[in-house]
C-alpha cells in the first residue's frame, strides 16, 4: 500500500479513472467494500468495473466524486475520464478535449519541454507511433502490455499525459486518439538539451536492438552487420546515401495512401562508426638523438 497521503488533485495524474480509484483508495486507506456501498453497487460489480469488464454508469459520477471529495474541477475531470468509455464518438471527442485541455493547463507554468521527453524516452515515442496503429486503445493497461518489452502502467500513463500536453494526440472523428503529425528528429543537432535527449533515445534504442535477438523470432526482425574499409574521402558520400535511404524508407512507411493500416511499431537504426584509427596517421617515435 502507498504511504503517500491522499490529495484530491490526484485525479489530474490519470487518464484512466480506474487507476485513480484504485490508487486513491490505497492512499485513503479505504476499501472497495466501502466504495461499493457508497455507490450502491455490489463489491463484485465494482471489481468488474475496475478490472475493465464492466463500464461505470455516468449517473454514478456524482457519488464517486463525493466519495473522493473532489472539487468542481476534479468533478469535471472525473466525468470526462468516465466518458472516455462512452459509446458516442461525439461524447468521447468532448471528453478527450476536456482531459487534454486540463493537462495543458497544468503544464503551462512548467519549464520542462514535453517534446524533449518525447525525443529522449523510447516508450513515449513508441506510444505515439502505436496510436497510429489499427485497434489502438488509449488505455494505459493495454498500452503497457502491447509495447514490447512491456512497460508499467505508470509509464504508459506518463506517455499518454506527455502526448496530450504536447497536443500530439487528438481525438479523430470517431472520438479515438490519433497522432496529429509525424515527428522525426533532425540528424544533426547543436549541443544542448535537444541533442542530449536524442543521444539518450539512440542509446536506449540500440540497447533494445541488442535485446531483440532474444525477444523476437528471426522472421520478425532484421539485423545485419558489415565491416569494411574505405578511404576517408568516401565517408561523406556514404553518409549522404544512408540518409537518403532512411528518408526513402520513412516515406514508404508513412504513405497516407497505403492499403494496409499499421498494426505494429518498429525501430529502425543505422550506424556507421570507426573500428580503428587512421592507418596512415601513426608515426613511429623519433630515434634517440646521437650523443
252-270 per-position pLDDT tens digit: 887 767 778 889 999 888 8
Q: Is residue 115 part of a domain?
A: yes
Same domain, 39 and 152: no
61/114 same-domain check = no
| Range 262-288 average pLDDT | 78
Q: 45, 16 in Cβ contact below 8 A?
A: no
pLDDT digits (tens, 9 = 90+) for 188-222: 555 677 778 878 888 898 899 999 989 899 999 98
Q: Are residues 35 and 157 in the same domain?
A: no
What are the pLDDT digits (tens) for 135-190? 899 999 999 999 999 999 999 999 999 898 888 888 888 888 888 865 555 555 55
**Domains of the chain: total:** 2
Same domain for 245 and 207, yes or no, is yes
User: Using a CB cutoff of 8 Å and minimum separation of 24, what contacts does 261-264 make?
Assistant: 261/133, 261/134, 262/132, 262/133, 262/134, 263/133, 263/134, 263/135, 264/133
SS3 call for 205: helix
Q: Do 60 and 120 fall into the same domain?
A: no
Q: Do 16 and 139 form a contact (C-beta atoms < 8 A)?
A: yes
- Residues 6 or more apart whose CB falls under 8 angstroms from that of 171 comprise 92, 93, 96, 97, 177, 178
Q: Which residue has the higher pLDDT, 69 or 284?
A: 69
Tens-place pLDDT, residues 230-239: 888 899 999 9
- CA-closest candidate to residue 17, choices 61, 59, 63: 61
Q: Who contacts 123 (Cβ-Cβ below 8 Å, separation ≥6)?
A: 147, 151, 155, 156, 159
232 occurs within a structural domain: yes
Q: Is residue 59 part of a domain?
A: yes
pLDDT recorded at residue 184: 53
Domain boundary among 70, 85, 100: 85
The alpha carbon of 7 is separated from its chain's Cα centroid by a whole number of angstroms, namely 26
Between 246 and 183, the more confident residue is 246
Name the maximum alpha-carbon separation found in the chain. 104
For residue 212, the enclosing domain spans 110-281
C-alpha cell of 271? 550506424
Q: Which residues pair with 169 in a beta bridge?
A: 179
pLDDT the model gives residue 111: 45
Write out the three cell numbers for 87: 459509446
What tens digit of pLDDT does each residue of 81-107 get? 999 999 999 999 999 989 988 888 887
Cell of 199: 543521444
- Residue 8, domain CATH: 1.10.260.40
What's the predicted TM-score (pTM) here? 0.78
Identify the sign of the CA torsion 77, 79, 84, 89.
Answer: negative
Judge if 114 and 209 occupy the same domain.
yes
Amino acid at each position: 500500500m502507498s504511504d503517500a497521503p491522499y490529495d484530491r488533485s490526484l485525479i489530474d495524474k490519470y487518464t484512466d479513472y480506474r487507476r485513480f480509484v484504485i490508487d486513491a483508495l490505497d492512499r485513503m486507506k479505504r476499501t472497495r467494500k466501502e466504495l461499493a456501498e457508497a455507490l450502491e453497487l455490489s463489491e463484485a460489480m465494482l471489481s468488474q468495473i475496475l478490472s475493465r469488464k464492466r463500464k461505470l454508469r455516468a449517473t454514478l459520477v456524482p457519488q464517486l466524486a463525493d466519495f473522493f471529495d473532489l472539487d468542481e474541477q476534479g468533478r469535471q475531470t472525473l466525468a470526462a475520464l468516465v466518458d472516455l468509455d462512452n459509446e458516442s464518438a461525439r461524447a468521447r471527442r468532448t471528453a478527450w478535449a476536456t482531459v487534454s485541455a486540463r493537462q495543458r493547463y497544468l503544464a503551462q507554468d512548467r519549464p520542462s519541454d514535453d517534446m524533449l521527453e518525447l525525443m529522449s524516452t523510447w516508450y513515449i515515442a513508441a506510444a505515439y507511433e502505436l496510436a497510429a496503429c489499427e485497434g489502438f486503445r488509449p488505455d494505459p493497461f493495454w498500452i503497457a502490455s502491447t509495447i514490447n518489452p512491456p512497460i508499467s502502467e505508470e509509464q504508459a500513463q506518463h506517455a499518454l499525459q506527455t502526448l496530450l500536453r504536447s497536443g500530439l494526440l487528438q481525438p479523430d472523428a470517431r472520438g479515438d486518439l490519433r497522432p496529429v503529425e509525424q515527428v522525426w528528429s533532425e540528424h544533426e543537432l547543436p549541443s544542448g538539451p535537444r541533442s542530449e535527449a536524442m543521444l539518450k533515445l539512440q542509446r536506449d534504442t540500440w540497447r533494445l536492438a541488442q535485446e531483440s535477438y532474444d525477444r523476437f523470432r528471426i522472421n520478425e526482425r532484421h539485423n545485419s552487420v558489415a565491416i569494411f574499409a574505405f578511404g576517408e574521402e568516401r565517408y561523406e558520400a556514404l553518409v549522404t546515401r544512408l540518409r537518403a535511404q532512411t528518408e526513402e524508407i520513412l516515406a514508404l512507411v508513412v504513405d497516407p495512401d497505403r492499403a494496409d493500416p499499421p498494426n505494429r511499431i518498429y525501430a529502425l537504426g543505422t550506424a556507421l562508426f570507426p573500428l580503428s584509427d587512421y592507418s596512415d596517421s601513426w608515426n613511429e617515435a623519433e630515434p634517440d638523438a646521437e650523443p
